[in-house]
Amino acid sequence: MRATLRVRRYDPETQPTPTYKEYPVDLPQYGTVLDGLLDVRDRQDGTLSLRCSCRSAICGSCSMRINGEARLACKTLVNKIASPGETITVEPMGNMPVIKDLVADMTLFWDKVRAVEPYLQPVGPAPEREYLVSNEAMERLTVAMNCIMCGACVSDCTVLEVDKTFLGPAALAKAYRFVDDPRDGRKMERLEKYTQTSGIWDCTRCNMCVQVCPKGVAPMERIMQVRSMAMEAGFNKTRGARHASAFAEIVKESGRLDEMGLALKTYGFFKAGFTLTGIGLRAFFRNKLPPLFHRPIATAENVRRLFRRLGV
């Protein structure tokens, strides 16, 4: 199949700004974007830089943005994303500096993974033989263990775009993998650490990492699991935990969301006044202040029973 690869070329040492260069490629039916790029490098332009190794979606080296979305080039079939003759745009991963062309500097990625202490920390004397754990306990972790550290989720994370201090999806999915491992002995310390600023509560739940992860790790869902574990373990003082609890309480009581009540419960009365008065006044003058008195739905008692039944 014929296609055109429009590749972002950039050498920060010699170029003031990136440029885009188009390369025609002719690939077999099951050709991947990586096949195309290697063809370009071998036959058309030997100066093109990219990372790759296994060509089978295992090593995690060839993450890049393809048509604006982070993907493994070796797992992306050209005929799945373009019609014959169409142009495919290939760029380096986002949220990271570019070393050259399609090669991103992953230092920040590794720093974040290291920051969550991604290794087992058992306490107490080691057992005489191997640790025994239930299949069920390990099954829960396998999804997170599928991570190949390719960086796709970090590339497209919408929070990292505005705040480089956020621990980010890959590191926090790894955090889940250890905090929920029955062999680990530092669950409470870990949860305390992950609930701090730049941790689990800073995720904006945009689903970007769920969409781009090539291995189904769904990092955001792992982050939600850590939030759940943190609240259950009693780390309830953060604004995020208070927001989640207040939200559930309000819907439990009335079946519907009451935005006024949510603000008051999340911030506390005085802090809500301080933080939200400006917003509230503007809304008042535009006749769009949420109702002051929130009415429950007629079947609210059934809803309450459902919440109680499920332990919330």
Partner 1 sequence: MRYAFWPGCVSRGGCPELYPAALAVAEKVGLDLVELDQATCTGAGVIGERSEELVDALNARTFAMAEQLGLDTIMTICSTCQGVMSSVNYRLRENPAYREKINGHLRDEGLSYKGTVRVTHMMWALVEELGLEKLANLVTHPLRGVKVAPFYGCYILRPRYVLGFDEHPHRREYLERIIEVLGAEAVDYSGKWRCCGFPIMTINESNGLRMVANHTLEAKQKGAHVLVTPCPLCHLNLDEFQPRAAGQAGRPINLPVLHLPQLIGAAIGFNAKVLGLRRHIVSTEPFIQMTGIPRG
Binding site for partner 1 (CB under 8 A): 68, 158-159, 161-163, 166, 197, 201-208, 210-211, 218, 224, 227-228, 231, 238-240, 243-245, 247-248, 251, 255-259, 263, 266-267, 278-279, 282-283, 286-288, 290-291, 297-299, 302-303, 305-307, 309-312
We find the least distance from the C-beta atom of residue 29 to partner 1, in angstroms, to be 20
Distances (CA, A) of 63 to 47, 52, 144, 236, 241: 19, 9, 18, 37, 34
We find the least distance from the C-beta atom of residue 142 to partner 1, in angstroms, to be 18
Q: Give whichever of 155 and 266 is closer to partner 1, judged by the CB atom.
A: 266
Q: Give whichever of 73 and 244 is closer to partner 1, judged by the CB atom.
A: 244
User: Exposed, middle or buried: residue 128 (CB in 10 Å: 0-12, 13-18, 19+)?
Assistant: exposed
Compute the half-sphere exposure of residue 200: CA atoms within 13 Å on the CB side of its CA: 31
We find the least distance from the C-beta atom of residue 53 to partner 1, in angstroms, to be 28
Give the span between the Cα atoms of 120 and 126, in whole angstroms.
12
We find the least distance from the C-beta atom of residue 303 to partner 1, in angstroms, to be 6
**Tokens 């919330």, residue located:** 312
We find the least distance from the C-beta atom of residue 255 to partner 1, in angstroms, to be 4
User: Exposed, middle or buried: residue 28 (CB in 10 Å: 0-12, 13-18, 19+)?
Assistant: exposed
Judge whether 168 and 106 are in contact, CB under 8 Å.
no
Q: Give whichever of 138 and 257 is closer to partner 1, judged by the CB atom.
A: 257
Q: Give whichever of 60 and 94 is closer to partner 1, judged by the CB atom.
A: 94
We find the least distance from the C-beta atom of residue 190 to partner 1, in angstroms, to be 18
Q: Give whichever of 38 and 169 is closer to partner 1, judged by the CB atom.
A: 169
Q: Give whichever of 178 and 201 is closer to partner 1, judged by the CB atom.
A: 201
66-79 per-residue burial string, b: 16 or more CB within 10 A, e: under 16: bbebbbbbbbbebe
We find the least distance from the C-beta atom of residue 278 to partner 1, in angstroms, to be 7
Query: Beta-carbon neighbour count of residue 34 at 10 Å?
Result: 22
We find the least distance from the C-beta atom of residue 251 to partner 1, in angstroms, to be 5
Give the span between the Cα atoms of 296 and 312, in whole angstroms.
18
Q: Give whichever of 61 and 155 is closer to partner 1, judged by the CB atom.
A: 155
Give bridge partners of residue 4 from the DSSP assignment.
Answer: 24, 87
Q: Give whichever of 114 and 282 is closer to partner 1, judged by the CB atom.
A: 282
Q: Which residues, other chains included, contact 121 with Cβ-Cβ below 8 Å and sequence gap of 6+?
A: 178, 184, 185, 186
102-112 per-residue burial string, b: 16 or more CB within 10 A, e: under 16: bbbebebbeeb
Judge whether 256 and 294 are in contact, CB under 8 Å.
yes
